[in-house]
Structures are given as structure tokens and as C-alpha cells.
Structure 1
Amino acid sequence: MAEPALPLVKPMNGGGGGVPAPPSIKPRPVYRPQPPSKAPRRRGRLCTCCLWITFVVSALILLAAIAGGIFYLLYRPHRPTFTVSTFRLSALNVTASNQLASRLDLSITARNPNRKLVFSYDPISISASSNGVAIGNVSVLGFVQGTKNNTVLKTTVTTSGQRLDSPTASDLKKSNVPIEIDMETKVIIKIGALKTKKIPIGVSCSAINAAVPKTKGKKAVPAPEFSPDASCDVKMKIKIWKWTV
């Protein structure tokens, strides 16, 4: 079998005949070594940092739990309790133009059940309402309550000239109405030379069924005083305990 003829290259001097052209040779690519990637090393450092952070946080949580358990075993802390001990609705008058005038006399007993904790209260805001309708508010002075101590707060809650809508005015003209008592304050808890920062406290006393004062002629006859002994729900809005010396 005949081989294919190679192309002829004409001589530069114009002479006859031709010389076969050499086959074309492609240049090989030059090998250049790449620098090692830094990604694995960075990932390793990041994982190590995350492990250390997790370890430190876990250790702090464990130490806080141990400290809390020791504190509870040593001091047995209990939140304060509040009770409405005496109650009298002296006036609850709704005029023909649906304006409210009321007077509520009550005493509230605050109790510190702890043997080693002292409570120091800021002024206490006391408000009274009936079915969501405010019928008065007052503020009483703060006080310091020692261990295993009962403190009685006597006060009067009043309102005058508050305008009501017709359905609300009709509800307050009934012979008996439910009265709710709410209190708000802040307290510092002391244990020897240690004390907390001010902790907000919310106190909500269950509805007390109160008799509306009767009127004889043009004179109102106050309802008699009674002792409902209504216990109150105490909520201490604690975020973080920070002790200072």
C-alpha cells in the first residue's frame, strides 16, 4: 500500500524540486506546582475555637447550677406573700350622667417567710378595678421588712368624676360587684452584707365580691367592713441575679 505524499516546500532560491515539511510539534504545558490550600487549617482552628467556647459556657452553667443549689440549701429562699386582710367599699356612686365616684378602704398584710432574707420595698402602687374598669389607685410608702415579719398596709383607694359608658355604669349599679386589687413595686433582697439589685414585683389579688353601699334618701350607707382573707398571686420578674458587697 502506497504511503501518502508529504507536502513539498519550495526552496527560497527558486530552484526546482521540494523538501518535505517537518510535522508540527505542539508545545507541552509547563507544570507549575500550586501552593497548599489554607482552608483546612482555618477550618481546624475554627472547630477548636468552637469546642473551647462550648466547654467554657458549659462549665459556667454547671458552676452557676452548683452555686444556686448551695445557696438554696443554705438559705431556703421564699418569695413574699400578700393577703387582703380587711376590706370595705365605703362608696360606689354612679351619677345620672354616668360619672363614677368611689372609696375603698382596705388593709393588706405583707409577710416575709424567710429566716435569713430581708426585703426592702420601694413605694407600692395599689390599684382597684371591677370587671376591667378602674375604680381608683393610690401609692403607699416603701418599707424594710425583717425576717419572719408581718407588715400591715392600710390605705384608701378613691376616684372621682370618671366617666363611664352606659353598660359599664349599669354593671356598677348592681348590689354586688367583684373587686380586683393589683400592686406593683420593686424590692431589694438582703442577706447580711450582700444585696440584690431592685427586682420588679407584681401582685394580683383575686376578685373579692363586695357589697355596693346602699343609699337612704340622699345619704349613702357604707357597706360593713369584712375580712376576705384573699390571697394574692406574687410574680417576681427576675432576669439575672447580681450580688454586690
Structure 2
Amino acid sequence: MADRVYPGPASKPATNGADAAAGGGGGANPAFPATKAQLYNATRPVYRPQPSPRRHKRSFCCSCCLWTTFLVITLIILAAIAGGIFYVLYRPERPTFAVNSLHLSQFNLSATTLTSKLNISVSARNPNKKITYFYDPITISTFSGDIPVGTGSFPAFEHGTKNTTNLKATISTSKQTLDAGDISKLKSKKTLPLTLKLETKVKVKVGGLKTKKVGIRVTCDGIRVSVPAGKSLSKATTSNVDCKVDLRIKIWKWTL
């Protein structure tokens, strides 16, 4: 009968360390003592933190703000330079207006209505040597305080350089309805304080360049006229009249 062979202690599976020592490091597991590179797998790529996308957005916004600010400042500087050159070359001045005379020939009040007639003469002066104005028809409104007492108009005209133009018109109203309070105010006054408001649009010509039409308002304060008795003519005092010229520029829905 054949002898049976029993496996001895040498046939037992070796431990990881023993196998590595016996086999000369042929196994996948590192030998002990292991280095840090072996423990943490030196072949793995090094982790590098990625920048937050918010930082990119912030830097982009900052760059846009800086470039926009730089562009705006550059445009302002260029506009200032161009304005300075224009002023030196042309010395622009606003036109001036003055009330030469005003006569009140009719002023009739009833219990609820007003009928009036005024003859007015206004001079417009262009002090510029190289700038010409082109006026549309000018509407005239007359007020005593805040009570309207007549309307009229001047025709359109060209205002040449270094020129003074005299404008004449009749301002009137016929049976204009007023409330009892306004009628009472007008009846109580023997001398009326009047305000003239002239409104139109004007185009400016500088050399060979013409601008678009711009709104203009002229307000003349300080006129005082006596209420005429019957059909007599009453002449207004205009020596202290001050006429102020304002541009009326419309931006969207607002008029400045």
C-alpha cells in the first residue's frame, strides 16, 4: 500500500510580507516597511484645485466696468475739446428779446367773459457774427398773474448775423370764459401786471452746417398797463421788462 503524503508547514500559503520577501517584490502589494509614495499611490495624478467660476465672472465684470468708464471719460474729454474749439472759433451767444411797446385798446369784462385786444412790438437781436437763426411761427400768450388775457402770433423769419428784427402782432381774446374768482380779480385792478410767453422752434446755421430744430421759450415779465376807460388807448410801461430765453429740449416724454 502506497504511503500518503501529508503537506508540511512549508506548503502553507505565505503571507504577503513573506511572499514579497521570497519572491523579490514580484507581488502587487508593497514590501514593509512601505514608503509614503507606496502607501498613497505615487502613480495617481496630483490634485490641483480648480478656480471658482465666480472669479471668472467677477474679473469679466470688472474689466467691462473699467473699459466702459474709460470710454465714457474719453468721450467726455473729446466733447469738451470739441466744444472749446467751437467756442473759440464762433463765440456763440443766445439771441435776446425786448418788448418795445404794448398798447391795450380793449378790455371788457362781463359777469363770466373777457374780451381784450393788445398791440405789441417786440425786437429780436442776434449778436453773433457767424451764426444765423431760422424761427418757426412764434405763438404769443399773455397772462395777468395766472389768468390768460389774450393770444397771438409772429410769422416765421430768418434772423441774420448781427441783426435786429422788429416783430409786431395783435394779441386778443373774444368772450373768453373765466370763473367768477378771476373776473373779480381783474375787475378790482386799475393797473394790470402782464407776462408775455413766446414759444417756437429754431434751427441754427453755423457756416455750412445746420442743426435740427430746438424748442425755445421767451418769458417777458415786468409789464404794467392801465385798464383803459371806454375806447381810450392805454400804453404799457415796458422800461423794466426782463425777457428770459430758455431752450426747451425734449428727451422722450420730458421737456427740459
Same fold (TM over 0.5): yes
Residue number among 206, 219, 228 corresponding to 1:191 in the alignment: 206
Q: Which residue of structure 1 lines up, in the alignment, with residue 70 of structure 2?
A: 55
Q: Which residue of structure 2 lines up, in the alignment, with residue 116 of structure 1?
A: 130
Alpha-carbon separation, structure 2, partners of 1:175 and 1:48: 70
Aligned Cα root-mean-square deviation (Å):
2.4
Do the aligned residues in 1 keep the contact of 2:223 with 2:238 (CA within 8 Å)? no
Do the aligned residues in 2 keep the contact of 1:128 with 1:137 (CA within 8 Å)? yes
User: Do the aligned partners of residues 127 and 230 (structure 1) sit closer, same or farther apart at CA in structure 2, a change above 3 Å counting?
Assistant: same
User: Do the aligned partners of residues 167 and 239 (structure 1) sit closer, same or farther apart at CA in structure 2, a change above 3 Å counting?
Assistant: closer
User: What are the within-5 Å matches in structure 2 for residues 4-15 of structure 1?
Assistant: none
Partner AA of 2:130 in structure 1? K
User: Do the aligned partners of residues 51 and 225 (structure 1) sit closer, same or farther apart at CA in structure 2, a change above 3 Å counting?
Assistant: closer
Find the structure with the greater CA-based Rg. Answer: 2
Residue number among 84, 108, 113 corresponding to 1:99 in the alignment: 113
Give the C-alpha shift of residue 223 in structure 1: 1.5
Partner AA of 1:171 in structure 2? K
Q: Which residue of structure 1 lines up, in the alignment, with residue 24 of structure 2?
A: none
Alpha-carbon separation, structure 2, partners of 1:136 and 1:101: 9
Equivalent position SS for 1:115: coil
Give the C-alpha shift of residue 196 in structure 1: 1.3
Alpha-carbon separation, structure 1, partners of 2:164 and 2:238: 17
**Does residue 241 of structure 2 align to residue 230 of structure 1?**
yes
Instruction: Provide, for residues 81-129 of structure 1, a one-character-per-residue CA deviation record: whole Å limited to 9, x for no partner.
Output: 111101101111102x232100010011011011111000111010111
Give the C-alpha shift of residue 201 in structure 1: 0.5
User: What are the within-5 Å matches in structure 2 for residues 33-52 of structure 1?
Assistant: 35-52=50-67
Do the aligned residues in 2 keep the contact of 1:181 with 1:207 (CA within 8 Å)? no
Identity of aligned residues (%): 46
Give the C-alpha shift of residue 42 in structure 1: 2.8
User: Do the aligned partners of residues 92 and 52 (structure 1) sit closer, same or farther apart at CA in structure 2, a change above 3 Å counting?
Assistant: same
- Could you tell which deviates more after superposition, 155-164 or 37-46? 37-46
Partner AA of 2:162 in structure 1? K
User: Do the aligned partners of residues 213 and 178 (structure 1) sit closer, same or farther apart at CA in structure 2, a change above 3 Å counting?
Assistant: same
User: Do the aligned partners of residues 51 and 169 (structure 1) sit closer, same or farther apart at CA in structure 2, a change above 3 Å counting?
Assistant: same
Give the C-alpha shift of residue 32 in structure 1: 11
User: What are the within-5 Å matches in structure 2 for residues 1-245 of structure 1?
Assistant: 35-95=50-110, 97-173=111-187, 174-215=189-230, 220-224=231-235, 228=239, 230-238=241-249
Give the C-alpha shift of residue 227 in structure 1: 5.2
Q: TM-score, normalised by structure 2?
A: 0.74
Equivalent position SS for 2:92: coil
Instruction: Provide, for residues 139-176 of structure 1, a one-character-per-residue CA deviation record: whole Å limited to 9, x for no partner.
Output: 22211100010111100001011122333223323321
Equivalent position SS for 2:234: coil
Alpha-carbon separation, structure 2, partners of 1:203 and 1:228: 17
Q: Which has the higher contact order (CA 8 A, sep 6+)?
A: 1
User: Do the aligned partners of residues 100 and 40 (structure 1) sit closer, same or farther apart at CA in structure 2, a change above 3 Å counting?
Assistant: same
Alpha-carbon separation, structure 2, partners of 1:61 and 1:227: 43
Q: TM-score, normalised by structure 1?
A: 0.77
Which one has a larger percent helix, Structure 1 or Structure 2?
Answer: 2
User: Do the aligned partners of residues 39 and 166 (structure 1) sit closer, same or farther apart at CA in structure 2, a change above 3 Å counting?
Assistant: closer
Do the aligned residues in 1 keep the contact of 2:226 with 2:236 (CA within 8 Å)? no
User: Do the aligned partners of residues 71 and 197 (structure 1) sit closer, same or farther apart at CA in structure 2, a change above 3 Å counting?
Assistant: same
Give the C-alpha shift of residue 36 in structure 1: 4.1
User: Do the aligned partners of residues 107 and 44 (structure 1) sit closer, same or farther apart at CA in structure 2, a change above 3 Å counting?
Assistant: same
Do the aligned residues in 2 keep the contact of 1:106 with 1:156 (CA within 8 Å)? yes
Equivalent position SS for 1:221: coil
Partner AA of 1:205 in structure 2? C
Aligned length: 207
